Amino acid sequence: MSFDFMTPNKTKNSTVGNYAIVETSGTQFWLEADRYYDIDRINANVDETVTLDKVLLINDQKGFAIGKPYIKGASVQLKVMAHKRGPKIIVYKMRPKKKTRTKNGHRQELTRVMVTSISNGEKPKKATTSAKPNTKKPSTAVKSSKVEKTPE
């Protein structure tokens, strides 16, 4: 008996790359760069860029960054590709022996987005050309150990 569901998939590349887990419209999505996803309708026009700030987790070359609950300064840039509707779902309600039947259909409004970039909010460090030596002179002030008392 083997437990294949517990072992990682060996056919895929073991290094997934950069990904982020973000929260939008009450659900969490695993997003990777340069891929498209269908999420709930966003109020944005086609070809606009949308920024998601509710980033829960980021995995990049440096390692994991986990927020409590969100990572400060982290963001995911999305480009809106199209607005569409999901597949039709049929809702059928019936009460037996009562001749009561209702049939409704529902199509979810979706937005197809492309993930353009994932940033963890760190600013790139500026390279220093030369280290400045400590030019401050030590102070020669003498501290007094006597404490003056005020008359009461």
Q: What is the dihedral of CA 96, 97, 102, 103, to 10 degrees?
A: 60
Residue 50 CA to residue 53 CA, distance in Å, equals 10
In this predicted model, what pLDDT tens digit does every residue of 54-103 receive, in sequence order?
Answer: 999 999 888 889 999 999 999 999 999 999 999 999 999 999 999 999 99
Q: What is the DSSP letter of 108?
A: -
> Who contacts 105 (Cβ-Cβ below 8 Å, separation ≥6)?
88, 89, 90, 91
Banded model confidence at residue 121, pLDDT cuts 50, 70, 90 = confident
The C-alpha atoms of residue 15 and residue 26 are separated, in whole angstroms, by: 29
Task: Write the pLDDT tens digit of every residue in 18-57.
Answer: 899 999 999 999 999 999 999 999 999 999 999 999 999 9
pTM above 0.75, yes or no: no
Is residue 131 over pLDDT 60?
Answer: no
Please report, for residues 85, 102, 111, 132, the alpha-carbon distance to residue 42 in angstroms, rounded to integers and kept in the order given.
12, 31, 6, 51
In which band, very low, low, confident or very high, does the pLDDT at 148 lie, cut at 50, 70 and 90? Answer: low
Per-residue pLDDT, 141: 61
Asked whether the predicted pLDDT for residue 6 surpasses 50, the reply is: no
Determine contact, residues 118/18, Cβ cutoff 8 Å.
yes
What's the farthest any 2 CA atoms get from each other in the chain? 101
